[in-house]
Structure 1
Amino acid sequence: MSDIKEDGFASSEILSNLATAFEKMSDSDRKAQIKKTNGVFQIDVKNDNGKTATWTIDLKEQGKVSKGAPSKKADVIMTLADKHFVELSEGKLNGQKAFMTGLLKVKGNVMMATKLDAVLKTAKAKL
């Protein structure tokens, strides 16, 4: 999954692991995750150097993670700092609190954004 990793971003390791978890899922598990989530997440992460990287989590059709913006319009675009994405994925940062305090910016379907936590937890359990 080296095509997903981006130097200078701790988030890339997490997203690479998420991609690996999706690949290891059985077809039925992946289809169940797609049915449950039914959305495309675009995640824009900014590191300490001010560089931004974008990843897409497609849980509408493919059930995979890719680097870059989605080919079709994302259901939700989430923008946050690299360290905050890491904290969010580790459960150290509450997504709602991050949103309310401005650490996490969301465009599009805000309710879809709330599903990201469950996606991250499911993938962590599969690894």
Structure 2
Amino acid sequence: MSDIQVDGFKASATLAALAQVFAGYSDEEKKAQIKKTNGIFELRVKNAAGAEGVWTIDLKNTGSVYKGPAKQKANVTIILSDDTFQQLAEGKLDGQKAYMTGKLKTKGNMMFATKLDGVLKATKTKAKL
């Protein structure tokens, strides 16, 4: 799963841990998570150096996390900084508050973006992020 990690991005370690959690799910757990979420998140993360990393969380078809743009049309593209993503993943920042304060931008289905919080919380307990 190290192909997910990118030097200079704190978010990549979190996403790699998320990928490991998904990989460890039983078929039933994976199906339940896909059924509950039913969509694709494309994350565009900018680090402190201004570089952009792109990752996709596919909870529509495969129940996986991979580096790069969505292979199918994403339900929502979320644009945020590396620090903002870490705060969201750690539960220190609420997604709606991040959006309202301009720390997070979306393209596509904004209401679907609210499901990312639930995905991160559900896996945080298993991944010990």
Alignment TM-score, normalising by the size of structure 1? 0.98
Name 1:61's counterpart in structure 2.
Answer: 61
Residue type matched to 1:112 in 2? Answer: F
SS at match of 2:3: coil
Deviation at 1:56, TM superposition (A): 0.2
**Distance in structure 2 (CA, Å) of the matches to 1:122 and 1:24:** 13
Residue type matched to 1:69 in 2? Answer: P
Name 1:27's counterpart in structure 2.
Answer: 27
**Distance in structure 2 (CA, Å) of the matches to 1:86 and 1:126:** 17
Name 1:18's counterpart in structure 2.
Answer: 18
Q: Deviations over 1:13-40 (max 9, x none)?
A: 0000000000001000000000000000
**Matched ranges for 1:1-127 at <5 A:** 1-127=1-127
Deviation at 1:70, TM superposition (A): 0.9
8 A Cα contact 2:42 2:54, kept in partner? yes
Structure 2 alignment gaps of length 5 or more: none
Deviation at 1:126, TM superposition (A): 2.4
Provide the identity percentage: 57
Residue type matched to 2:92 in 1? Answer: K
8 A Cα contact 1:25 1:126, kept in partner? no
**Distance in structure 2 (CA, Å) of the matches to 1:3 and 1:77:** 21
CA-based RMSD of the aligned residues comes to 0.6
**Distance in structure 1 (CA, Å) of the matches to 2:76 and 2:70:** 11
Structure 1 alignment gaps of length 5 or more: none
**Distance in structure 2 (CA, Å) of the matches to 1:16 and 1:77:** 19
Residue type matched to 1:7 in 2? Answer: D
